[in-house]
Chains A and B, each alone.
Chain A
Amino acid sequence: AQSVTQLGSHVSVSEGALVLLRCNYSSSVPPYLFWYVQYPNQGLQLLLKYTSAATLVKGINGFEAEFKKSETSFHLTKPSAHMSDAAEYFCAVSDRGSSASKIIFGSGTRLSIRP
């Protein structure tokens, strides 16, 4: 069964510092991978997705993630954090080419930005 594991339920960084949110996946076949962001009292917004076109995926708001098959990882990074990046971030996976139609989410990482 597919799953994603997000390491660290809460990450705190200073404004301007590097953001690194960790995600590892488990899948018997190459998956599709996603990062979603949830701002307070809002829905889930897609940041970026990996579909095998390129291992380094660039998303909105300056975020990017790199698919590393050897490490089964899809970590999310941003070179310089802004206060507006404070939110909950979810890594997610769906099965490539199967009849399954769901996205499986990780438990989420809350990102706090210190002034």
Chain B
Amino acid sequence: EPEVTQTPSHQVTQMGQEVILRCVPISNHLYFYWYRQILGQKVEFLVSFYNNEISEKSEIFDDQFSVERPDGSNFTLKIRSTKLEDSAMYFCASSLGPASSSDTQYFGPGTRLTVL
């Protein structure tokens, strides 16, 4: 069964450093998402991406964050200057259609980001 993959599984970085989290969505999917889950809290939406542009972003997704689909398979989340509060589990997801169409979003296993 196709699945969303994410690398690395765990990233440790120093505050102020740039990190890039990588995701390979399911190959025929058209919509891509990033969510995050701070330890002990709920899963929060960050951004959705379709047709090579952001379709929606949350208040969390400020200028320090960016997303890119650099080639036909990868989908990346970049944090330019990490802060302590960016420490969280970051989930990538993909779907064939938008959430409003009820198409299932398939989630990757997550990248645990630890900012020291």
Contact = CB atoms under 8 A, between A and B. Distances in A.
Interface string B52-64: 0001101000000
B110 A43 contact: yes
A81 to B, nearest CB: 24
Interface in A80-115: 90, 94-108
A94 B56 contact: no
A103 B45 contact: yes
Contacts of B102: 32, 49, 51, 94, 96
Interface residue tally of chain B, by bracket? 20 to 34
A100 B104 contact: no
A107 B105 CA distance: 18
Interface residues of A, number: 25
B100 A101 contact: yes
A45 interface: yes
B45 A104 contact: yes
Which has the most chain B C-beta neighbours within 10 Å: A46, A98, A101? A101
Contacts of A100: 56, 99-100
B84 interface: no
Nearest to B43: A105
A44 interface: yes
Contact of A42 (B35, B56, B100, B109): B109
Nearest to A41: B109
Given A32-B102, A95-B100, A101 B56 contact: yes
Given A44-B43, A44-B91, A90-B43, A101 B99 contact: yes
B69 to A, nearest CB: 15
A102 B109 contact: no
Interface in B91-110: 91, 93, 98-100, 102, 104-110
A42 B35 CA distance: 14
A72 B44 CA distance: 22
A67 B99 CA distance: 19
Interface in A38-67: 42-46, 49, 51
Given A95-B100, A97-B100, A98-B100, 12 more contacts: A42-B110, A43-B108, A45-B107, A49-B104, A94-B99, A99-B100, A101-B33, A101-B56, A101-B99, A103-B45, A105-B42, A108-B42
